[in-house]
Amino acid sequence: MEIVFATNNQHKLTEVRAILGKEYTVLSLHDIHCTVEIDETSETFEGNAWLKADYIHKNFGLPCFSDDSGLEVEMLNNAPGVYSARYAGEQGSHTKNMDKLLTALQFHSNRKARFRTVVCYLNKASEINYFNGVIHGVITREKKGSGGFGYDPVFLPDGYNITFAEMTPEAKNKISHRAMAVNELSRFLRL
């Protein structure tokens, strides 16, 4: 079965193809010649994931799923949330985002945080389903590790003594919020 994953992120494609297995041909936006930049204008993960999946479904008529993820920090009322990529501004970087976060939390002992992913799937009949993945942890006081991306160097998952950035990609992909949500999708597709 052919299914579009509304992304061109090679890292995500590799991870998702491994989870969904050989029964599914996972096509990227590039594979279906979609060059439109779909704006993430919603204030929720669900809304942003739906915007992308719905655009592809409407314009290409193919079953499609899309994901939206971010970091929610308890002490910051779940910020940066959907703004995780742009926390330090549109021209920001992963380093600037982490520095802003460490500064915001510098005088706080509550460092609880979670990564959240929502996957939105639209099938051929336009039925919409959502799948969630969450991993809880704490924000460290300094960056550790050089792997991964985004906030990985400052995220210590509960039950581990190394950050996401200190884990191998395989180890992170086993427990990550994104893997969890895509595993849920995989189970649903096989029902």
Binding site for ligand IMP (CB under 6 A): 68-71, 84-85, 97, 115, 148-152, 164, 176
Identity of the residue, 24 or 163, whose beta carbon is nearer to ligand IMP in the bound complex: 163
Q: How far apart are CA 16 and CA 24, in angstroms?
A: 10
Q: From its phi and psi, is residue 81 left (phi > 0), alpha (psi between -120 and 50) or beta? A: left
Identity of the residue, 68 or 184, whose beta carbon is nearer to ligand IMP in the bound complex: 68
Q: Which residue is nearest to ligand IMP (CB)?
A: 150
Instruction: Kindly state the smallest distance separating residue 124's Cβ from ligand IMP, in Å.
Output: 25
Give me 157's structure tokens.
């998952």
Instruction: Kindly state the smallest distance separating residue 87's Cβ from ligand IMP, in Å.
Output: 7
In the chain, alpha helices (H): 10-20, 45-60, 94-104, 169-175, 177-189
Instruction: Kindly state the smallest distance separating residue 175's Cβ from ligand IMP, in Å.
Output: 10
Q: How far apart are CA 74 and CA 58, in angstroms?
A: 37
Q: Which residues are catalytic?
A: 68
Identity of the residue, 50 or 164, whose beta carbon is nearer to ligand IMP in the bound complex: 164
The Cα angle at residue 106 between residues 101 and 109, in degrees rounded to 5: 110
